Amino acid sequence: MSMIMSEPVPIQDANTPAGMLEGDLVKRARRGDLAAYDELVQRYQQRIYATVYHMTANHEDANDIAQESFIKAFQALKSFRGGSSFYTWLYRIAVNKTINFLKQRKNKNHFSLNDIDFNAENDPDLVALTSDKTPFRAVGLTELQKKLNEALMKLSEPHRMVVVLHDVQGQSHDEIAEIMDCNIGTVRSRLFYARQQLQGYLAEYAKPA
Amino acid sequence: MNENDNNFAELKQLLKLKRHEVPPPGYFDHFASDVTSRIRAGEAGGQRTFTERLEAEAPWAVSFLRIFETRPGVIGAFATCVCLLLVSVVVHSSRADKAARLAMSIPSSTSVAGSPMASMTAPALVAASDSSGIVASTNPVTSLEPVSTLFAQPGSGSLFQPAGFGVPAH
């Protein structure tokens, strides 16, 4: 009989930054408490980094922009009125920074792609996609990754952002509308158009069922 | 929307691949500390660069300067404008200087009419002149040549120059 060993869950003290609610951490960070802000960074670093990375397709650029977004957010904390969640507000800063960066970079795409993790080979969706019955059968995951990133980079920044936030990051239409400061209808239409475009770019591989 | 989602089912499956693109192992171990140390370094003594301070305090100035970064032609046009402005200021100031000098000469010549010198007769003027016999004139161009006039005293050998009372045209 095998035993399932689970890692012990650390008990978090509500008085330490790790055990605090987001609102309390934000209040403390506004007063200049860097330990509180460190905790906020740890909570959102992966999501912010991933969004910027998927938009730029470059690890080094994503690292710089993500760090600068957190620094700018700290400097601007005094202007944060709490009208939206800190998370949405932080996302908005990162999104704006990324779009500004991409506009300055224009069409000079320089890929620096991260490796695909080992779990990808066991992902049922990806396994199904690369099985013998699909057009992807002849293409390895690495090649597929390259083609997908090339296709994504052909989209305009707002369209790419919607695809990244919805189809990659799993954000809802409402959240995306709030982050991108537009209405839900715009988010839906951008998503539809972006998917159509992507399907066209990847026509060789992704054919509608 | 569901129908649309079905149309893009394969694409959505493919996009899942992006979720498996991860940064090198241990990358996030130092991310937060890097951010906070950069914040500390920035706070430690106002080490923000001039550009950063300018960006925070006068973003309009930064965006103005960025115009020059992207359009070299604008720099040339701006420099030409500055040069033209400088030249026009120099020319205008020299003209204004001349006009001021002329304006200064007008009251001195007109005031002569009411001055005690005006009521003097020519011999008195001669008497009032200095020992060399040169009469002070309001004419800026002083001539030392002897002038033969009706008022010249024969044999006195004095030099006499009539005062100019003409009002210069503006």
Residue A164 domain flag: yes
Give me the number of domains chain B comprises. 1
Residue A88 domain flag: yes
The Cα–Cα gap between A169 and A175 comes to: 11
The Cα–Cα gap between A93 and B155 comes to: 102
A153-188 residue pLDDT tens = 999 999 999 999 999 999 999 999 999 999 999 999
B19-66 residue pLDDT tens = 889 898 899 999 999 999 999 988 765 555 676 666 666 767 777 777
Asked whether A165 and A55 are in contact (CB, 8 A), the reply is no
Look at the pTM and tell me if it is higher than 0.80: no
Give me the number of domains chain A comprises. 2
**A125 to chain B: closest CA residue:** B13
Residue A132 domain flag: no
* Interface residue B44 vs chain A (CB under 8 A): no
Residue range(s) defining the domain that contains residue B128: 120-138+146-160
The Cα–Cα gap between A201 and A159 comes to: 14
* Interface residue A115 vs chain B (CB under 8 A): yes
Name the residue among A66, A75, A209 with its Cβ closest to that of B10: A209
Residue A63 domain flag: yes
What's the burial of B89, exposed, middle or buried (CB within 10 Å: 0-12/13-18/19+)? exposed
Residue range(s) defining the domain that contains residue A67: 19-105
Is there a contact between A34 and B17 if contact means CB atoms under 8 Å apart?
no
Cα angle A45-A49-A54, degrees, rounded to a multiple of 5: 155
- CATH number, domain containing residue A196: 1.10.10.10
Residue B128 domain flag: yes
The residues pairing with A112 across neighbouring beta strands, listed in sequence order, are A58
Of the residues A42, A75, A105, the one at which a domain ends = A105
ipTM over 0.85: no
Residue A171 domain flag: yes
The residues pairing with B21 across neighbouring beta strands, listed in sequence order, are A116
CA gyration radius, chain B: 43
Distance from CA of A11 to the nearest CA of B (A): 21
